[in-house]
Amino acid sequence: MLEKAKRLLQPSARSGVPPFLVMDVMAAAARLEAQGRKIVHMEVGQPAAGAPASAIAAARAALSSGPLGYTETLGIASLRRRIARAYFERHGLEIDPERIVVTTGSSAGFMLAFLAAFEAGDRVAVALPGYPPYRNILAALGCEPVSIETSADTRWSMTCETLLAHHRARPLKGVVVGSPANPTGTMMTAKALTTLIHCAEDAGIAVISDEIYHGLDYAFAAHSAAGISSDAIVINSFSKYFCMTGWRIGWMVAPAQLVRPIERLQQNLAISVPTLSQIAAEAAFDARAELETVKHGYEENRRILLEGLPRAGLDAFLPADGAFYLYADVSRFSADSFEFATRMLQQAGVAATPGVDFDPLHGRNFLRLCYAGAREEMQEAVARIGAWLA
């Protein structure tokens, strides 16, 4: 019987995706903390601040008002209208609320987008360095992620020329674009983003725009793909700017022709998004002043690192235009960023994510540092890293 079970329960090939190393680093840090160590967390891309007060109050009221049942699959109508209104408030865009799809975090948004837009075997371009679940979700769904290297010359963003070169070699069905980007923190200008989207769509390549760090822009204002093309699929989330990572709530702006297919998929995969999270998310839009205060804290943390890390010995990093990341070059200290991150955690008590998670080609030279924590933690991190590297 045991041998039969072993034969029946072999992992599928599609499950053989690489681990998301940032979660492994977080687990290693937790083990050290369980031993009594004080660890400065700069590995996981999540705000130290909790959900805004308005969201908490709305959730409490909902919990005391009666049972929470399913909602419409596409999301509570008032939340969809409020999300659409936010595009007018921030970008001056008129978005039909019928095109808004509420999702269980941006992760579910990517799965729904890939399932609705691509067939198994389709080739989809992603930037290197880039968020690893882009590649891993695509692979698990039977698509082929096509990694396109970027460089400092283009602010670590994909260009029309590089995209079309890969498309001519073997046709692409889609491209994933992120600005502000994870892990680099770099952003595309409005002109660069517009050029890339028009270039892709003219070539028959569908565009998925990851905008989950919108609102967290420092160098210049982030530009939404929703204002460039009604055919682009836009993914956003309440996790980053709205400080609601654990609520697992996000949204999509979907092309009109994909709304019903996405609805059918979500009906079967999730039925609906957690009701409590939707209620809280709608109320979070009333917390602009509170959220801007949190953002100003990130800006101060950014300043602490940009000034302090070079004195500590880490003086080569990519432009920190937005999000809450620095992508630092550690090649002068190690040829293996995983080994470097492991030693830094064990010896300095600072947790950071090795670049190999984001770039299997050149990531061994880089380390991602998240500065979404408290100001005192950033100051302590600089001091610890400086003492360790001295």
How many other C-beta atoms lie within 10 A of the C-beta of residue 220?
Answer: 11
Please check the confidence at residue 21 and state whether its pLDDT lies above 80: no
Please check the confidence at residue 190 and state whether its pLDDT lies above 70: yes
Model pLDDT for residues 269-280, shown as the tens digit of each residue = 999 999 999 999
Angstrom CA distances, 175 to 160, 178, 206, 315, stand at 11, 10, 6, 32
How many other C-beta atoms lie within 10 A of the C-beta of residue 1?
Answer: 5
pLDDT category of residue 9 using cuts at 50, 70 and 90: confident
As a whole number of angstroms, the distance between CA 133 and CA 39 comes to 26
pLDDT at position 2 is 66
Residue 219 near residue 244, CB atoms below 8 Å: no
pLDDT at position 1 is 60
pTM: 0.93
Q: What is the arithmetic mean of pLDDT over 179-191?
A: 95
246-259 in b/e form (b: 16+ CB < 10 A) is: ebbbbbbbbbeebb
Residue 331 near residue 365, CB atoms below 8 Å: yes
Tokens at 291, concatenated: 């959220």
pLDDT at position 4 is 67
Question: Which of helix, strand or coil describes residue 250?
Answer: strand
Please check the confidence at residue 361 and state whether its pLDDT lies above 70: yes
pLDDT category of residue 6 using cuts at 50, 70 and 90: low
pLDDT at position 5 is 63
pLDDT at position 280 is 98
Model pLDDT for residues 29-74, shown as the tens digit of each residue = 999 999 999 999 999 888 999 999 999 999 999 999 989 999 999 9
pLDDT at position 70 is 97
Model pLDDT for residues 115-156, shown as the tens digit of each residue = 999 999 999 999 999 999 999 999 999 999 999 999 878 888
What are the strands, taking DSSP E only, across the chain? 40-41, 100-103, 123-128, 144-149, 174-178, 206-210, 233-237, 250-253, 325-329, 350-351, 353-354, 366-370
How many other C-beta atoms lie within 10 A of the C-beta of residue 199?
Answer: 19
Under 8 Å CB-to-CB from 317, ≥6 apart: which residues?
A: 309, 326, 327, 328, 329
Q: What is the arithmetic mean of pLDDT over 288-306?
A: 96
pLDDT category of residue 20 using cuts at 50, 70 and 90: confident
Please check the confidence at residue 346 and state whether its pLDDT lies above 70: yes
User: H/E element holding 261?
Assistant: helix 256-269
Closest CA to 180 of 390, 388, 372, 320: 320
pLDDT at position 320 is 87
Tokens at 257, concatenated: 């022709």
Share of residues in the chain with pLDDT > 70 (%): 98
Please check the confidence at residue 19 and state whether its pLDDT lies above 80: no
Closest CA to 373 of 45, 106, 105, 55: 45
Averaged pLDDT of the chain = 94
Q: What is the arithmetic mean of pLDDT over 320-332?
A: 94
Please check the confidence at residue 317 and state whether its pLDDT lies above 90: no
DSSP conformational letter for 126? E
User: Which of 52-61, 105-114, 227-236, 333-342 is predicted with the least confidence, judged by mean pLDDT?
Assistant: 333-342
User: Which of 10-14, 56-60, 229-233, 304-308 is predicted with the least confidence, judged by mean pLDDT?
Assistant: 10-14
Q: What is the arithmetic mean of pLDDT over 341-352?
A: 94
pLDDT at position 319 is 80
